[in-house]
Amino acid sequence: MQIQPDDLHSDFEVVLQNREPQTRSTWLMRQAGERLGIPDDELQALIAPEQVKIFRIPCRILGKVVNLNGCIGLHNSARGPYKGGIRLAPDVNIWETTELSRLMTLKCAACDVEFGGGKTGIRLDMAEMYKLFDIKPRDLAFEKTVSIAVIERYAQLFSDLFSSHQYIPAPDMGTGPDEMAMIYGETWDPASVTGKGDGVPGWLPGRKESTGIGCSYMTRRVLTEVVGVDLEKATVAIQGFGNVGRPLAVDLAEHGVKITGIIDIFGGTYNADGLNIDDLMDHFADTATVKDFAGGEAIDNDSLFRLGVDCLIPAAAGDVINEKVASEIQAKAVVEAANMPTTIEGMEVLTERGIAVGPDILANAGGVIASMMEYSASLSATKPDKSEVYEVVQRKIGDNFDRANERAREEGIGLTAATVETAVERVRQVMKDRRML
Ligand code: NAD
């Protein structure tokens, strides 16, 4: 089917002969645009990506050449360099990468960080790799050999983009500090990449925990100011005990919040009196899961999402709160620690049911705020300490949470809609100032 450009579809879609599916952020931006009276042509320029680079990476791995496909979504550069992680996963596609790059534009604007939005998706199916090399899963050393080989070639291909600070990558699913070190190894520029491991030039103390710390702060603000409960009396349930979930749980517990349920991909644990998070961390250190924790009883995902807690925190994956789940949630508020954990239909149901939502673009912005500090420290060869990093993370989330709360009250809209309005206004203003609009 030949697609013709219409008022809100881009030439880029026409080139691809394919229309971008409706996504959560385009839906939110269109609604914000309508409320703010933004003309369609300007809204189109805000929604559509500036560039999408599609590439093939031939990698030599253990003597074989493996061809992988990927793309870099460079969504918007009005407010600064394109910023966003590198995802290695079997199911990435152009539209998902584009949507995630758009989410980064909104997130950086929502928490007032001087970056634009970018993202890389490289399609890598580890199960296929095991078959191709006739290796028995799970072999972590093999997986690392593969991911390092892929990122080494990727860094060689796009080193100009990183060295010129047009696009500054970071880790996402399937990548971490080891892979970021390969990018530094190619560019020799500490400011060309963030999420670098401890000791790699330009690394930032507290970067690893910053998303969880920011999310804990936002959750505490939602509990006290939106739900209206004292922290010592508040109860929380968390899906996910990874890079975000662990520091989030530790920090909430340190502030007296009772966490009654936590689940990961292997299983969950529940204790009506509150889980002992120190003991749970010890259990996790031994078993790499929260399953079978002696200090709680087993719980599954469906039951965790139906717990009558003050706040439910999805901190694992996207699209976990759909229409059905949203209609069954008993929590008074949801704080989105994961990226886009609530579908459009799920958001509509939560709004109808009057369940407050702390949006992802503020709740998990701690990572990109710390990345801003890592970038800045790398440029100036200085190093803030952990407490300074956490202070900036909390201040930026706090200031913008205040703004969103006020706007939501004044306009009679939810926190998500209010946050997106502010983000869209900030990007639009700079695009106008820079004659990009
Ligand atoms: P991670 O891989 O370290 O941890 C993910 C956790 O979720 C693990 O405990 C895993 O077992 C669990 N999980 C996965 N699928 C699950 C399922 N179906 N049911 C129950 N548990 C499941 O990932 P992370 O870095 O903690 O990221 C979590 C989310 O936060 C993702 O959506 C990510 O995009 C988002 N995010 C992360 C950061 C960051 O700094 N790490 C920043 C912004 C957003």
- For residue 432, what are its two tokens? 């106008």
Q: Which residue in 210, 229, 213, 211 sits closest to 356, CA to CA?
A: 229
Q: Quick check: pTM over 0.85? A: yes
Which residue out of 119, 244, 270 has the highest number of ligand 1 atoms within 8 Å of its CB and is therefore the one to mutate? Answer: 244
Ligand 1 atom with least separation from CA of 211: 40
Single out the residue of 387, 338, 5 nearest to residue 206, CA to CA: 387
Angle formed by the axes of helices 415-433 and 24-36, to 10°?
A: 70
- Output the residue whose Cα is nearest ligand 1's atom 22: 265
Cα separation, 408 vs 410, in Å, equals 6
Please tell me the distance from the alpha carbon of residue 269 to that of residue 245, in angstroms, as a whole number.
14
Instruction: Give per-residue burial for 32-57: e unless 16+ CB within 10 Å, then b.
Output: bbeeeebeeeebbbbbbbbebeeeeb
The answer to whether domain 8-18+48-192 has CATH 3.40.50.10860 is: yes
Tokens standing for residue 333 = 């508020």
Structure token pair of residue 169: 């990558």
Give pLDDT, residue 11: 66
pLDDT digits (tens, 9 = 90+) for 226-277: 999 999 999 999 999 999 999 999 999 999 999 999 999 999 999 999 999 9
Domain ranges (residues) in the chain: 8-18+48-192, 210-363
Backbone torsions φ then ψ of 6, nearest 5 degrees: -120, -165
Short-list 125, 144, 123, 126, CA closest to 136:
126
Pocket test for ligand 1, best of 88, 92, 243, 335 (most atoms within 8 A of CB): 243
Residues paired with 168 in a beta bridge: 83
Q: Is 436 helix (H, G, I), strand (E, B) or coil?
A: coil
Nearest CA to ligand 1 atom 4: 242
Using CB atoms within 10 Å of the CB of residue 116, give its burial: 0 to 12 exposed, 13 to 18 middle, 19+ buried. buried
432 included as an active-site residue = no
Which pLDDT does position 268 carry in this prediction?
Answer: 98
Query: Of 240, 90, 287, which Cα lies nearest the Cα of 174?
Result: 90
**Which residues of the chain are modeled with pLDDT < 50?**
1-3, 5
What is the Å distance from ligand 1's center to 239 Cα?
9
* Ligand 1 atom closest to residue 341's alpha carbon, by position in its atom list: 32
Specify the pLDDT at position 5.
46
Backbone angles phi, psi at 219, to 5 degrees: -60, -40
Task: Judge contact between 417 and 28, C-beta under 8 A.
Answer: yes
**For residue 264, which atom of ligand 1 is closest to its CA?**
21
60 and 84 in contact (C-beta within 8 Å)?
no
Question: Which residue(s) pair with 120 in the sheet?
Answer: 72, 86
Contact 172, 179 (CB under 8 A): no
Instruction: Using the mean position of ligand 1's atoms as its centre, give its distance from the Cα of residue 265 in Å.
Output: 10
pLDDT of residue 14: 66
Q: What is the C-alpha separation between 293 and 280, in angstroms, rounded?
A: 7
Long-range contacts of 384-387 (CB under 8 A, 24+ apart): 384/204, 384/205, 385/205, 385/206, 386/205, 386/206, 387/206
Which one from 83, 119, 208, 396 is the annotated catalytic residue?
A: 119
pLDDT value at position 1?
Answer: 45
Query: What gap in Å lies between CA 230 and CA 233, rounded to an integer?
Result: 5
Distance CA 134, CA 200 (A): 34
Phi-psi region of 238 (alpha: psi -120 to 50; beta: other; left: phi over 0): beta
pLDDT of residue 8: 56
Q: Which of 24, 108, 364 to mutate to test the pocket of ligand 1 (most atoms within 8 A of CB)?
A: 364
Closest CA to 421 of 436, 437, 400, 435: 400
| Ligand 1 site residues, Cβ closer than 6 angstroms | 211, 239-245, 263-265, 301, 315-318, 337-339, 364, 367
CA dist 222 and 214 (Å) reads: 12
Q: What superfamily in CATH does domain 210-363 come from?
A: NAD(P)-binding Rossmann-like Domain (3.40.50.720)
